[in-house]
Structure 1
Amino acid sequence: MNLQFSIIVPVYNRPQEIDELLDSLTKQELKDDFEVLIVEDGSENSSEEIVKKYTAQLNLNYFYKENSGAGASRNYGMQRASGNYFIILDSDVIVPSQYLSEVKKALQENYADAFGGPDAAHPSFTSLQKAINYSMTSVLTTGGIRGKKKSVGKFQPRSFNLGLSKVAFEKTKGFSKMKAGEDIDLTFRLWENGFETQLIDKAFVYHKRRSTVKQFFKQTFAFGTARPILNKKYPETAKLTYWFPSLFIIGIDFSIIVAFFGCWQLLIFYGFYFTCIFLDSLLQNKNLKVALLSVVTTITQFYGYGLGFLESRFLKK
């Protein structure tokens, strides 16, 4: 198959991130022509001047539209793209030079109408961003579902690094109106329509994610609220493991309460777990500060997702 890539990037008030992303796209090893579509989602802080810097180096198109959310902006870009295979990237990623070459190679060897790739922490990221990356990708925290482990069943691509054929887009109509979990919703509809998804583990991006603990909490809370909605919409996909973060934080709170009455055994279990998080992060990142922050971000992740899940499951109609 003759692959013609169109890269679609929605952006909202993040011109500096677009600058870094476009700069990384100018350094791709792939010699094939590819187009880049920047979709400005009603931003007050426009990226247009940044985009103009790269028009001589990239086949670049810039669109400004009213704010409607990332999913609708991705659909807007795909509707206007000229390629036959779309690559969706978040504005807060940096793309390694071999990225497109790895995507092309993998699709030529084992074609699928949708793919996802992992994310990694760039050396330039802050200690907190590296810790957040650890918490979101470690087998000890998420079980490898975000691209660090192949044996996780059918892979569910995430929208920060996602590929979708034009054929699959036209069949599924792209992303739904969900504000969170819209990428998982798209994956389920792809499967319902007979399309295959795959993980391309070498097609990783450097993903900044959030820059403060508060922002990270809000992000994971949104992820948590989305899951019960998806479970209700696609009951055959519901799993007991989706309850784990909520049960985990309930267990921590219960352990703290009973510790006041002299029962410390449960707290020892949690202490052992977070010690493992610290040591594993230290081994991976070779940085004491990042390892310590990884404990903080892991706790934040569990509480954010767990509380969001419980609120969506029991309090929202």
Structure 2
Amino acid sequence: MFFSIIIPLYNRPQEIDELLDSLTRQTYTQFEVLVIEDGSKLDARDIVESYRNKLDVRYFVKENEGQGFTRNFAFGHARGDYFIIFDSDCLIPPAYLTEVNRYLLEHKLDAYGGPDAAHPSFTPVQKAISYSMTSPFTTGGIRGSKKNLGGQFHPRSFNMGISRKVWEATGGFILTRLGEDIEFSIRIHSLGFKIGLIPGAVVYHKRRTNFRQFYKQIHFFGRARINIYKFFPETLKLVHFFPALFTIFIIFTLLMNILVFPLAVFCNLFLAVFALLIFFHSWMENKSLNVAALSVIAAFIQLTAYGLGFMQDFWKRIILKSS
């Protein structure tokens, strides 16, 4: 099987250098790489060109349209039997393509997703963010499972593959951002294609490098869930309301601590137990007290940021019916 690896890029030359370097160590070598500069002001042409002797790599420049339509552009230029999408802030383990090729030959998936993990070189904050995004105590816990509380498994575009047949049948992404990967996955499901999780197709996903950037990203994800609802109302599940309910509970607890402290005791106790669960679980996972403490902060940021974004667009687009 010949793979086309597709990487949209926007003002992140350092990231593409690290990603391409990781691809030079793949044990399975039947692949090409397409790097698409999506209207960047900081281009990576020289960096990509430096890998010409190490990878079958092609570099494209186009006007800024967002990651969804940029991936469509790449699909139209890809030569592979199977297209693999990575975010530019990923590092790819050497056996990734070997594992994907083996699994696809055995299970005949039309589309797949893979998990993400923290690389040993990540900073403590990046490891904490990675933990939060994959933790069973946050909504991240439903993202890397074959069966989850959110219903069908939906591959996410930081680590996602589709067959050429899927591209030809779907025409690719119809949204360029704000939940475009979930909308795409739902349409793939609706056409009867077989989608699955490849457990061994792990990437090291850097995500954001500080909590402020992380908050902005997750707030965007909360808004994206409402955008998906506008296309597929039936996909909005009870689990998607959990961050909003958690955020309301946090606000209520803060008010009770100011206005009626005795009533806040039980709220404070609940939050303390929740924080301790995250702390000790992260400690066991990461073997670091520092990362464990930061994981508590990351988890609370993830839940409240998602909750606020979700409530913002729920009120605006569903209650007020504004576009």
> How high is the TM-score relative to the length of structure 2?
0.94
Letter in 2 for 1:151: K
**How many residues end up aligned between the 2 structures?**
313
1:312 aligns with 2:313: yes
Task: Map 1:260-279 to 2 at 5 A.
Answer: 260=258, 261=260, 262-263=262-263, 264-279=265-280
The amino acid across from 1:273 in the alignment is: F
SS of residue paired to 2:131: helix
1:31-180 counterparts in 2 under 5 A? 31=29, 33-142=30-139, 144-147=141-144, 149-152=145-148, 153-180=151-178
Question: Please, what is the CA RMSD of the aligned residues?
Answer: 1.1
Q: How does 1:237-252 map to 2 (within 5 A)?
A: 237-252=235-250
Q: Name the SS for the 1:40 alignment partner.
A: strand
Is contact 2:132-2:140 (8 Å) kept? no
Distance in 2, Cα, partners of 1:63 & 1:163: 20
Q: Which residue of 1 aligns with 2:231?
A: 233
Q: Does the aligned pair in 1 maintain the 2:279–2:295 contact within 8 Å?
A: yes
- Whether the 8 Å CA contact 1:8–1:36 is kept in 2: the answer is yes
Give per-residue Cα distances to partners, 1:66-121, cap 9 Å, x unaligned: 11111111111111001111000000000000000000011001011110000010
Deviations 1:6-54 (A, max 9, x none): 00000111111111111111100114x2110000111111111001111
Partner of 2:208: 210
Contact 1:252 1:267 in 2 (8 A): no
1:154: Cα distance to partner? 2.6
| Letter aligned with residue 3 of structure 2 | F
Q: Which amino acid in structure 1 is aligned with residue 161 of structure 2?
A: G
Letter paired with 2:160: L
Q: Could you list the per-position Cα deviations for residues 274-304 of structure 1 after superposition, in whole angstroms to 9, with x for gaps in the alignment? A: 1110111111111111111111111111111
One-letter code aligned to 1:173: G
For residue 256 of structure 1, report the CA deviation from its aligned partner.
2.4
SS in 2 for 1:177: coil
Q: Where does residue 282 of structure 2 map in the other structure? A: 281
Larger deviation, residues 21-30 vs 250-259: 250-259
Q: For 2:140 and 2:91, locate their aligned partners in 1 and report how far apart those are by CA, in whole Å.
A: 24
Q: Map of 1:175-190 to 2, 5 A cutoff?
A: 175-190=173-188
- The DSSP-based 3-state class of the residue aligned with 1:140 is coil
Code of the residue aligned with 1:126 in structure 2: it is T
Under a length normalisation based on structure 1, what TM-score does the superposition of the two structures give?
Answer: 0.96
Letter of the structure 2 residue corresponding to residue 4 of structure 1: F
Q: Percent identity?
A: 50
Q: CA deviation at 1:137?
A: 0.5
Report if aligned partners of 1:10, 1:39 keep a CA contact under 8 Å in 2.
yes
Moved more, 20-29 or 152-161: 152-161
